[in-house]
Structure 1
């Protein structure tokens, strides 16, 4: 358990196990603890680096917006700080978006990427979800006091009173438009796109991302010659939603199966 002074932030991280390194990036209003139930699956074959992103978990917020590109730069700087050589990255939701941006900004720094439950275009979200996101602000802190997210923040955050401020900044981030279509089309890092079969975006959006990565456009062939040229893959986890995807016993095996493929 330690902090790294990188990119203007004191970034909290933990290292578990030995082997080829993999960085796990949590979802919004969470922390690296989100991966605790599957940690032993990953440490059986990998050194795991759990990161608490800006304003989350044990990483205190700083005077900048919550921006996924900034968070990606934080992780890139942490990779350099730790002297890691092309670690793999697994990200969920917010962390999945950070992982995608890291692969776009610094493809030379990482090996493989698993991006779970992360869209590449704000407008892909279901209309009711986009409306709900407009309600995320400091005023909603009172209604979240019985939630696991609030309990976690109060237990581990350096400044527990910052929770309303974090909600304000997360809400502002959710309202910013984005479209990574062209960037994803040219993605150089072998990437597994993962979605729940009842996620915050239509299942077709994950298929769209896979199509941009040259996947699902032709028969794969007996010799697998029709598979995506970049080594990309797609997985839809059955019987899950955005909110319990990490609870599925399938998540870790699916992610590890992709990470452990020979290049």
Structure 2
């Protein structure tokens, strides 16, 4: 889950009633559509530093996921596959023709599951800093995640996440509830190996070289997608058959990925190839 947020220029967004959720989204730029999904405890605003580069080439649609930003929570757990269904319903609501889906951290997991669960609705997927097994995360980070809950509110009051939520959330008093839900979600063990192995949408796995899991984990994910198993060949004939790719970004951590011009650059290179 991301612990940073950036403020983008003030934009008037819209709401879509999808999958039982009153989902907030903004639209920036023109071109082929890209749905851009934020990390946990954030909102679309966390991409403020790289949004101009992305919107210069694409119509960027920025939703706020369930319980985050300007999208109020509803009576269901925070569940990545269910949030992927929200995005699939948004695609239908907007009448988009196979948009690309790009996500970071929590949003990276959601993007991956949109590709897994709704491949007919998606062009390409970029999944950044998203782990497919709970045991891939560094043990000290798992310990910190285990402390997430309403009791952590006092420790978060001086953070950008808290400031953002208080400023934009329809019900600012729901912040402890969001922490409880995120804590419950992170406490669950998960393993999406088989789901990823069956992924048929061209997908780029992105990670920082000092991310929340070691680079070897993201190489493992790439191998599940037929990558890193042989020489690529002079004409690229040895590359993954599904058009998948891997990018490990130098000097990037889990916490500055949404700000990174490298993230924007590799995303555009993959989507626009």
Give the Å deviation of 1:248: 1.9
Residue of 11, 32, 41 corresponding to 1:29 = 41
User: Is residue 156 from structure 1 mapped to residue 165 from structure 2 by the alignment?
Assistant: no
Distance in 1 (CA, whole Å) between partners of 2:160 and 2:141 is 20
Secondary structure in structure 1 of the residue aligned to 2:261: coil
Aligned residues of 2:129 and 2:207 also touching (Cα < 8 A): yes
Pick from 254, 262, 266: which aligns with 1:242? Answer: 254
1:206 is aligned to 2:218: yes
Secondary structure, aligned partner of 1:250: helix
Aligned position for 1:179: 191
Among 202, 209, 214, the alignment partner of 1:197 is 209
8 Å CA contact 2:50–2:260 kept in 1: the answer is: no
Separation of aligned partners in 2, 1:202 and 1:39: 27
Cα distance, 1:128 vs. partner? 0.8
**C-alpha separation in 1, matches of 2:92 and 2:234:** 41
Deviations 1:223-243 (A, max 9, x none): 111001000000011011101
Matched, 1:2 2:35: no
Q: Bigger shift: 82-91 or 178-187? A: 178-187
The answer on 1:256 being equivalent to 2:268 is yes
Cα distance in 2, alignment partners of residues 248 and 42 from structure 1 = 12
| 3-state SS of 1:37 partner | coil
Partner of residue 154, structure 2: 142
> 2: distance between equivalents of 1:230 and 1:52?
30
Residue 61 (structure 1) aligned with residue 73 (structure 2) = yes
Question: Normalising by structure 1, what TM-score?
Answer: 0.98
For 1:19, the equivalent position in structure 2 comes to 31
| CA displacement at 1:43 relative to structure 2 | 1.3
Question: Structure 1 CA distance, aligned partners of 2:88 and 2:242?
Answer: 22
Quick one: which of 67, 74, 77 aligns to 2:86? 74
Where does structure 2 lack aligned partners over 5 or more consecutive residues?
Answer: 1-12
Tell me the distance in 2 between the aligned counterparts of 1:247 and 1:37.
5
**How many aligned positions are there?**
261
Give 1:41's aligned residue: 53
Runs of 4+ in 1 over 4 A off after TM superposition: none
State the partner residue of 2:10.
Answer: none
CA offset at residue 247 of structure 1? 2.0
Q: How many angstroms apart in 1 are the aligned matches of 2:131 and 2:57?
A: 29
Q: Structure 2 length as normaliser, TM-score?
A: 0.95
> CA deviation digits over 1:205-239, x for unaligned, max 9?
00000000000000001111100100000001101
Shift of 1:120: 0.5
Per-residue displacement from partner, 1:125-178 (whole Å, max 9, x unpaired)? 111111111100000011000000000000000001111110000000001121
- What residue number does 1:101 align with? 113
Contact 2:210–2:253 (Cα < 8 Å) also in 1:
yes
Judge which range, 166-175 or 35-44, deviates more: 35-44
Question: Unaligned stretches of 5+ in structure 1?
Answer: none
CA-based RMSD: 0.7
